[in-house]
Structure 1
């Protein structure tokens, strides 16, 4: 299938070679394709590397975050909580390590494949709006895991981010990122989550839990310089 004819041309490396706070709101409404599945992005979060206490890259490069330090337009896919993958779009120049977390979207092609991927044995299939509602669900619906880490999404590869075929004016909202707090709570209130107003696929907001508040709380994991409740951040 010629996805560019259906969804618009692939975004370019030049598109991603900009500050993450410019890129993040502009990927709302764009379409991510991998094989038969396509997801229209309705919610994203920006993470700004060394300048962002909520980022995996805040304390520098590690083997896990190597792809995040690569050229713009790459994928940074990471594993979290021992069970989920989340996927991010690398922005800015190589070495800058900023990225946009693809937080939620609407499955607009390949619904049966996405549903099969998201249905647990013995459980009912998720509702259509929940197929990619949350970063781990989105990665699962698209079939993204470690094999796609480091790939480029700018055309010519198996994963591509397309501009909308027709970009309609969207009402956008901004607010704090889901479940994020940095050392001392520094990143708690960064208004770096962007979402399309009125979209049922947008995920539920949960505030971060500061380290001092974690004491006495069980079953919540954190690391990499920040703590989270829910899925972790790039």
Structure 2
């Protein structure tokens, strides 16, 4: 497997969200690689997207979203669950892709269907916020195999507060995969 280059992330967020499906999230902890295949994502396309954390501007929490692409934006939700996003597009845009679900591949304990469960199984927490995804201990990789999966578009989950943005089909998943978060 080869790490995705920074140029992969420095593109349109919707395109990145779709093309992350089938790639592998790798977190090396104490020399042990924990690997899951990405099977569900959501695109948050910048400050104009009312469901995106960046829509409230630059804050200590969202600063990483406005930085260069290819970094992890990790945050805590409901005071107990971590979520990991991948920063996309050019610096200053405030765009990112939420990783919603993984198919366990190697060394994963527990469920991976949902962003909080995914982070728990992968050992991802706030210490990895703003982590460079071209590092050797947390990265996304491609095995080079051709992708022949059907991708489904649906509205994002849990963004009813976002007005017209709540119904936009910016959630993507691999059709028929048993590990997606919501059927």
Q: Decide: shared fold, TM above 0.5.
A: yes
User: 1:143 and 2:143 equivalent?
Assistant: no
1:167 offset after TM fit, Å?
2.7
Match of 2:179 in 1: 201
Other-structure match for 2:139: 160
Once the two structures are TM-superposed, the CA of residue 21 in structure 1 deviates from its matched residue by: 1.0
* 1:177-216 Cα deviation digits (max 9, x unpaired): 0121244x221101000000000001116xxxxxxxxxxx
The answer on 1:29 being equivalent to 2:22 is yes
Distance 2:147 2:45 in 1: 28
Q: Which has the larger displacement, 165-174 or 98-107?
A: 165-174
Flag structure 1 segments of 5+ consecutive residues without an equivalent.
1-7, 119-130, 206-234
Question: Aligned partners of 2:55, 2:155: CA distance in 1, in Å?
Answer: 18
Aligned residue for 1:20?
13
Task: Decide which structure has greater strand share.
Answer: 2
1:180 to 143, 151, 159: 159
Structure number with bigger Rg: 1
Aligned-partner Cα distance in 2 for 1:66–1:81: 20
**Kept in 2: contact 1:29–1:164 (CA 8 A):** no
How many angstroms apart in 1 are the aligned matches of 2:8 and 2:48?
21
Alignment of 1:1-234 (within 5 A): 8-35=1-28, 36-110=33-107, 114-115=108-109, 118=110, 131-154=111-134, 156-183=135-162, 185-204=163-182
- What TM-score does the superposition give when structure 1 sets the normalisation length? 0.74
- CA drift of 1:70 comes to 1.2
Q: Is the 8 A contact 1:10 1:160 kept in 2?
A: yes
Count of residues in correspondence between the two structures: 179
Q: Helix, strand or coil: the match of 1:108?
A: strand
Q: For residues 130 and 166 of structure 2, what CA distance do their matches in structure 1 show?
A: 28
RMSD, aligned CA: 1.2
Q: CA deviation at 1:138?
A: 0.6
TM-score norm. by structure 2 comes to 0.94
Post-superposition shift, 1:164?
A: 3.0
**C-alpha displacement of 1:157:** 3.0
Q: Deviations over 1:147-200 (max 9, x none)?
A: 11001112x3310100133133111110100121244x2211010000000000
Q: Are the counterparts in 2 of residues 151 and 157 from structure 1 also a CA contact under 8 Å?
A: no
